Amino acid sequence: MKHYFRSPWWAVFFIFFFPLLVVHSYVEFVRDSELNARLGWLLMVGGLAYLLRHTWLQKIMLGILALMALSGAFDILYASTFGGVFTSASFEAMALTDTHEGWEFLLAYASFANVSLLVFYVAVVTLSLRNIDFKTIETKRQRFFAGLGVLMAVVAVQQVYDRGRYFDVIPGFVGVGIDYARGHEGMAEIIKARQQLYATKPFSVAMSSTEPQTYVVVIGESMNRHHLQVYGYGRPTTPALQANQDSLLRFDNVVSAFAQTSPSLQVALTEANLQNKWSYDKAISLVGAAKKAGFKTFWISNQQPSRTPTTPLAAMADESHFISHDFKGVENHRYDGYLLPSVEKALSDPAAHKLIFVHLMGSHLQYRNRYPEEFALFNGMDGVKAYTDDLSSSQLQYINEYDNSVRYTDFILGKLMDLLKQQKQIAALSFFADHGEEVFDSKDFKGHGPDGVTKNMVEIPFLLWRNAAYQQAFPETDAVLQSRLQTPFMLDDFFHFGLCFMHIQSDLTRPVQSWCAPEFEPVSRVIYGRDYDKEWP
Ligand SMILES: [Zn+2]
């Protein structure tokens, strides 16, 4: 029995799989690549061990194993303390903590469970690595495993080279760390380029009204408008929007230009659109244009803190806040409601002209992680409209969870509208989603993306709430908007809409592009190469 524990196989197995076991018992969602990468490492190191007897290579291998064990120790500590998997957002949060605080922080979170898990892991790893007994090849089976080890090493190198991503190949903390370091550098460059563009590109902007004004742009996530009661869905998913219908304009024919976050927001929030095909990094953003016009700009987000295009846009804002940092990068139980205090703070800022972006997590990916328990309101079949009447129980559960997340987004919108009602000055809020989501509406699929795209993945809600002061100050704009409720519009021109809606005059835009101007001319809406109005089924 004893010799099993001296085998390199045991050491590698324990170093890679004990952390995974801990992570699985603390974290609700773990990516498949964590298991795959660890299996790959087991075969690679276990096999290579036969070839490295008594050479300096053996020492290198022990060093690598020690490093991977350190990585495993971090994974254990992080999962058992915060209930999350290390991601680049965790690094982002850690980078903002100074080392002194970091130490205090560890002490504050030390518990019997996380300390004993850590001590056990480190003790077993140390014993295993010290007593490891490397063997030379004696049997056919050992030769086979040695060959497999070499093959896995080749596959690992090829995977990193091919995909340019380390976290798929190197599991846990180390892989994420390498990707973070590389991504961080790239992001810093993108931010710098955007600041330079803003400083050097000549463009004119001017407010046409000096009246104090507050605008809130709420960006939803993965919201299919057919799941909103306010758009005719048979379930009470949007009571707050229903209650505010007097001040609300509901646009029924708005689509996103893509079915994915990044490409959609790149064109929605900048002067780039599908017509001019400009590259995002050459295009001034709504944040930049409003800022130059004299608005104080805010970016408040529950999304990942290092991601294009939102991070570079947030960096342009006068103030930005990613609540991911307050949660040490952990996504579990991080609901959009935690954004509200930051929005309240922004609203109380003394600046006379404010533009506040609020980027929600909305209905992203794991629907059931997007709302607190008390919002788990839908659990039966009532009001469900799906591609089949014969839904499986897991499909129905996804639909219910999705509708709960929609209901929670409605709750957030209600709170935001309540906050704006306290403003005496001109105030308005717009709400749209970056793209839609298929939730077994038209086929046996849930999610979004360019492959197998459906109408539900691009048909998004677009709502405008504006107070009486706005309607009195800008009656012509308001009348135009009221006449546009059925007009076809694509989200890639939100930049132009925004400038027009906030009455910012600019040479970056023409009235024909501005949805709220009387001169607006609809253009064909070609999404993924097909005309949405003519060629989509
Ligand atoms: Zn999205």
Residue 490: burial class (beta carbons within 10 Å; 0-12, 13-18, 19+): buried
Distance 78 CA to ligand 1 centre (A): 27
172, two tokens: 């846990």
Distance 311 CA to ligand 1 centre (A): 14
In a domain, 519, yes or no: yes
Distance 361 CA to ligand 1 centre (A): 8
Nearest to 69 by CA among 103, 91, 44, 38: 38
Distance 298 CA to ligand 1 centre (A): 20
CB atoms within 10 A of CB 350: 6
Residue pair 213/383 in contact (Cβ under 8 Å)? The answer is no
In a domain, 194, yes or no: no
Distance 220 CA to ligand 1 centre (A): 8
Distance 264 CA to ligand 1 centre (A): 8
Please tell me the distance from the alpha carbon of residue 463 to that of residue 477, in angstroms, as a whole number: 15
In a domain, 197, yes or no: no
Distance 460 CA to ligand 1 centre (A): 11
434, two tokens: 């970056």
* Residues 487 and 354 reside in one and the same domain: yes
| Low-confidence spans in the chain with pLDDT less than 70 | 1-2, 96-107
Distance 259 CA to ligand 1 centre (A): 8
Report DSSP letters for 49-114, one per residue.
Answer: GGG-TTSHHHHHHHHHHHHHHHHHHHHHHHHHHHS----HHHHHHHHTS-HHHHHHHHHHH--HHH
Please tell me the distance from the alpha carbon of residue 504 to that of residue 492, in angstroms, as a whole number: 18
Nearest to 460 by CA among 482, 488, 480, 481: 488
Residue pair 43/65 in contact (Cβ under 8 Å)? The answer is no
In a domain, 152, yes or no: yes
Distance 47 CA to ligand 1 centre (A): 42
Q: Which amino acid is at 374?
A: E
* Residues 262 and 366 reside in one and the same domain: yes
Distant-in-sequence, close-in-space partners of 227: CB < 8 Å, separation ≥ 6: 233, 235, 237, 402, 403, 406, 439
Distance 108 CA to ligand 1 centre (A): 35
* Residues 145 and 216 reside in one and the same domain: no
Give 218's strand partners: 358, 431
In a domain, 191, yes or no: no
Distance 221 CA to ligand 1 centre (A): 5
Distance 142 CA to ligand 1 centre (A): 48
Residue 285 DSSP code: B
Distant-in-sequence, close-in-space partners of 48: CB < 8 Å, separation ≥ 6: 61, 146, 149, 150, 153
* Residues 213 and 178 reside in one and the same domain: no
3-class DSSP state for residue 500? helix
Count how many Cα atoms sit within 13 Å of the Cα of residue 272 in the half-sphere of its side chain. 18
Q: Which of 185, 216, 236 is the last residue of a domain?
A: 185
* Residues 221 and 159 reside in one and the same domain: no
Distance 55 CA to ligand 1 centre (A): 51
Per residue in 81-102, is it b (16+ CB within 10 Å) or e — as a string? Answer: bbebbbbbbbbbbbeeeeeeee
Distance 271 CA to ligand 1 centre (A): 20
* Residues 146 and 295 reside in one and the same domain: no
Please tell me the distance from the alpha carbon of residue 215 to that of residue 431, in angstroms, as a whole number: 11
Distance 495 CA to ligand 1 centre (A): 18
* Residues 250 and 130 reside in one and the same domain: no
Q: What is the pLDDT of residue 78?
A: 86
* Residues 144 and 213 reside in one and the same domain: no
Strand order in the sheet with 353-359: 248-251, 462-466, 426-433, 213-220, 353-359, 296-301, 319-322
Residue 398 DSSP code: H
Rounded-to-10 torsion of CA 370, 168, 88, 199: -110
* Residues 475 and 403 reside in one and the same domain: yes
Q: Which of 156, 185, 214 is the last residue of a domain?
A: 185
3-class DSSP state for residue 153? helix
Rounded-to-10 torsion of CA 59, 63, 69, 73: 150
Ramachandran angles phi, psi of 452, nearest 5°: 65, 35
Please tell me the distance from the alpha carbon of residue 104 to that of residue 112, in angstroms, as a whole number: 17
Distance 134 CA to ligand 1 centre (A): 50
Distance 435 CA to ligand 1 centre (A): 6
* Residues 181 and 267 reside in one and the same domain: no
Q: What is the pLDDT of residue 103?
A: 63
Distance 15 CA to ligand 1 centre (A): 36
Place of tokens 């080392």: 99
149, two tokens: 């080890």
Distance 365 CA to ligand 1 centre (A): 9
**In 96-209, where does DSSP find H-type helix?**
99-109, 112-130, 140-163, 172-200
Distance 119 CA to ligand 1 centre (A): 40
Please tell me the distance from the alpha carbon of residue 62 to that of residue 486, in angstroms, as a whole number: 67
* Residues 162 and 252 reside in one and the same domain: no
Distance 439 CA to ligand 1 centre (A): 14
Distance 263 CA to ligand 1 centre (A): 9
Residue pair 456/439 in contact (Cβ under 8 Å)? The answer is yes
Distance 438 CA to ligand 1 centre (A): 12
Distance 261 CA to ligand 1 centre (A): 4
Distance 395 CA to ligand 1 centre (A): 21
Q: What is the pLDDT of residue 97?
A: 64
In a domain, 536, yes or no: no
Mean pLDDT of the chain: 92
Distance 434 CA to ligand 1 centre (A): 5
196, two tokens: 């330079």
Distant-in-sequence, close-in-space partners of 378: CB < 8 Å, separation ≥ 6: 235, 237, 400, 403, 404, 407
Please tell me the distance from the alpha carbon of residue 170 to that of residue 397, in angstroms, as a whole number: 34
Distance 155 CA to ligand 1 centre (A): 32
3-class DSSP state for residue 517? coil
Distance 255 CA to ligand 1 centre (A): 13
Residues with CB under 5 A from ligand 1 (ion): 221, 261, 434
Please tell me the distance from the alpha carbon of residue 239 to that of residue 93, in angstroms, as a whole number: 35
Distance 162 CA to ligand 1 centre (A): 26
pTM comes to 0.87
Residue 437 DSSP code: -
In a domain, 122, yes or no: yes
Distance 448 CA to ligand 1 centre (A): 8
Residue 248 DSSP code: E
In a domain, 537, yes or no: no
Report DSSP letters for 257-280, one per residue.
Answer: S-SSHHHHHHHHSBS--TTT---G
* Residues 129 and 276 reside in one and the same domain: no
Q: What is the pLDDT of residue 77?
A: 87
Q: Containing domain of residue 432, as a range?
A: 206-531
* Domain count of the fold of the chain: 2
Distance 360 CA to ligand 1 centre (A): 10
Distance 453 CA to ligand 1 centre (A): 14
